[in-house]
Structure 1
Amino acid sequence: MKPIHNIDDVIAVLQDIIDTSIQEKSPLGYFAALYQKVTIKVKEGIQNGVFEDGPRMEKLDIIFAKRYIDAYYDFSQNKTVTSSWLKAFMLSKKFWPIVLQHLLIGMNAHINLDLGIAAAQVSEGQPIENLKNDFDKINEILSSLVTDVENDLATIWPFLRKILKFTRKVDNFLVDFSMEIARDGAWNFAVHLANTSPSDLDKVIQKRDKKVADIASLISNPGLIANVTFGIIRLGERGTVPQKIKDLMH
């Protein structure tokens, strides 16, 4: 893995993961493609002065991204990863999960676990409240992705919108999940970590990881009606895994 010193390095390493996934026809490339788009948006935000503290936001982005990137490479080398990421990565071994499930399960691990940890780390030595406005801005970018993803995937699933309208249960599942992300869970977790003594940090993170891994189980197995619907969508998905990864990059 290339060393990561700035946001451009993050974008380059994500490209390596995307290229490897295309070569190996691995669904792990779906989340990497989406995440590269987010990182480019954050970079543009820093350049355009959207954030109160651009250099701090770049530092946060690097710490945040490295949690995913390290987990990806650890998993590929059979090393231990968090339960949340393990559930996300293991989904890539199965045929039936649809692209959206792969994306949501990755977003779940990264936002609901990693974002709070990264926010607490970047705020070390400073009151974490100073980060709140910029944290909300990055969370807006992440939360808006659920809608962006649905739009992107229209190319992969020609009947996506019709199916979502027809099966309100699945639609509710997606809405509920996006609301989970949009809520203040990640921020509350960051504040909790910032106020936790160093000796208790691992215990608090493990407890959170277990909770986030439980949400991952709901994404991978959302119930009979959703599973049947997702099965229909899966059979209707257009293109090979590499083509779908490229569709997500546009």
Structure 2
Amino acid sequence: MAEVLARMRALESALPTEDGVAVFNRVYLTVTESVARQLGDGGFEDPGTAGELDIRFARRYFGAVDAAAAGLRTPACWRPLFQLRRHPGVHPLQFALAGINAHIGHDLALAVLDTCRVLDCEPHALEGDFERVGEVLGGLEERIRESLMPGPDVLDIADPLTHLVGSWSLDMAREGAWAAARMLWGARRLPEVAEEFTERLDASVGLVGRCLLTPLN
């Protein structure tokens, strides 16, 4: 966890404040700091398993960041954020939600599989801590929305933004990720099926991300 936090803080220092990836990184750093505190305070059923899941999860994001920095093709779920990260018509809240959508909607399911393979366990062994992380995310979601949403003095201008962000649900994304993880685990002995499902999951999450990043100005 210390290495994960160090990498996120390094990205925070290196990226311009208004960069869309920087916006998401700040949100992710806040969440990860909260998870790290609860790991230390005994807030998880199995701190070792939860920590492994969190590390595997973060590495998916770092892989996308590294691919973009190297000029390589990023996963489809991350592509809209990296392509539109400097668009002046996209609001910071849109950047944050697009990153969360990519990371939860796609990366989380694959991180569950990564963790199961490393720890030689079934997904149900992670379910309790998976739900606990979800509770942490849920508690922070409203604060994130409030901190990035325009103030009351510009609510008329922000009406399209309010509609756009209200169409996306963290809970539904988490439920979808858990279902996808279970499906992929069940299909692990059918590599062609698992590969096709993973590709389609990536593409569909990317489509949602592109909608979330619709320029509003």
TM-score (norm 1): 0.77
Counterpart in 2 of 1:136? 131
Please, which of 178, 183, 187 is the counterpart of residue 192 of structure 1?
Answer: 183
Unpaired segments of 5 or more residues in structure 1? 1-6, 222-226, 232-250
Structure 1's 115 and 122: CA in aligned 2 closer, same or farther, altered over 3 A?
same
Counterpart in 2 of 1:150? 145
What does 1:60-139 align with in structure 2 at a 5 Å threshold? 60-124=53-117, 125-139=120-134
Structure 1's 46 and 185: CA in aligned 2 closer, same or farther, altered over 3 A?
same
Counterpart in 2 of 1:234? none
SS of structure 2 residue aligned to 1:22: coil
Answer whether contact 2:104 2:174 (CA < 8 A) is retained: no
Paired AA for residue 135 in structure 1: F
State the Cα RMSD in Å.
2.3
Alpha-carbon distance between aligned partners in 1 of 2:98 and 2:29, rounded to the nearest angstrom = 16
Note the C-alpha offset of 1:170: 4.3
* 2:153 counterpart of 1:177: no
Alpha-carbon distance between aligned partners in 2 of 1:144 and 1:175, rounded to the nearest angstrom = 17
Unpaired segments of 5 or more residues in structure 2? none
**Higher mean C-alpha displacement, 110-119 vs 87-96:** 87-96
Q: Deviations over 1:60-83 (max 9, x none)?
A: 111100100111011011012101
* 2:204 counterpart of 1:211: yes
Note the C-alpha offset of 1:220: 1.6
Paired AA for residue 133 in structure 1: G
Answer whether contact 2:94 2:165 (CA < 8 A) is retained: no
Alpha-carbon distance between aligned partners in 2 of 1:21 and 1:166, rounded to the nearest angstrom = 26
Note the C-alpha offset of 1:164: 7.5
Aligned length: 213
Note the C-alpha offset of 1:173: 3.3
Counterpart in 2 of 1:39? 32
Counterpart in 2 of 1:54? 47
Note the C-alpha offset of 1:166: 8.0
Note the C-alpha offset of 1:183: 5.2
SS of structure 1 residue aligned to 2:113: helix
SS of structure 2 residue aligned to 1:177: coil
SS of structure 2 residue aligned to 1:84: coil
Counterpart in 1 of 2:155? 163
Answer whether contact 1:143 1:178 (CA < 8 A) is retained: no
Give aligned-pair identity as a percent: 23
